[in-house]
Structure 1
């Protein structure tokens, strides 16, 4: 950010020197162009480095409230699945105790 701020200040000084007709105008414009290239390189370097770090370390860019809601929903689904399975087991147990209701006693 410091490089970008200095580049903007330098570009403004080059513009004002050009308007004033100062002999510093040409060197300032040349150095402003070079500074713009350096500032762009610096910003891209920071951006790419952050992207690579996030990709390597598996950072999920999801707000924590959204992540919490997703966890809550998964827990609710697991509880529901366990309750459904318990109900099925209970029904199977009752059928077994009754002697296999629903099955023919004679083939």
Structure 2
């Protein structure tokens, strides 16, 4: 897999893409073509477009194309817990490294760092469990809606239908009562 760079070519602002060769060599290494200096040989450069296309308008290709996300974004509480857990784990690893290095150096800081790294390990474990529990609670409260055939979604839809039927029945009863029974075919 080669890397790509964007460079300004010497020809009137034409943008060129310089790519590495599949054999792993970088463009511009080896024999340079005459008049190209360090830009490399002509076959290393792919010209993307000039300042104007055939109609005379400026044509620019976007630097990137946005693609839809493969996975849905984590819910806010779960993401917050995950960030907290990552920070706790990072601090724990730093403390463990400092404890190890200060033990090797014979420093007085070794004992307090070992104690604090043990406490930090317990907190990091709690942080990871917090992510898991927060995710489970969120899924239980809001339902798993990642697939169209989700049972939580179907249950919510059925509850909504039942509530609508109930509300329309109550409205119909209220309408009948307001008319004084005029809409009924028979009286009880």
TM interval, short-chain normalised: 0.5 to 0.7
Find 1:58's aligned residue among 143, 162, 172.
143
Matched, 1:38 2:123: yes
Distance 1:36 1:61 in 2: 33
Distance 1:27 1:61 in 2: 47
Deviation track 1:65-107 (CA, whole Å, cap 9, x = no partner) reads xx59xxxxxxxxxxxxxxxxxxxxxxxxxxxxxxxxxxxxxxx
By relative contact order (CA 8 Å, sep 6+), the higher-ranking structure is: 1
The runs of 5 or more residues in structure 2 that have no matched partner are 1-85, 150-188
Q: Secondary structure at the match of 2:144?
A: coil
Distance 2:139 2:126 in 1: 20
1:60 shift after superposition: 4.1
TM-score (norm 1): 0.54
Distance 1:61 1:41 in 2: 27
The runs of 5 or more residues in structure 1 that have no matched partner are 69-107
Where is the strand percentage greater, Structure 1 or Structure 2?
A: 2
TM-score (norm 2): 0.32
Partner of 1:20: 105
Q: Secondary structure at the match of 2:137?
A: helix
Deviation track 1:3-29 (CA, whole Å, cap 9, x = no partner) reads 110111110110101111111101100
Distance 2:94 2:104 in 1: 15
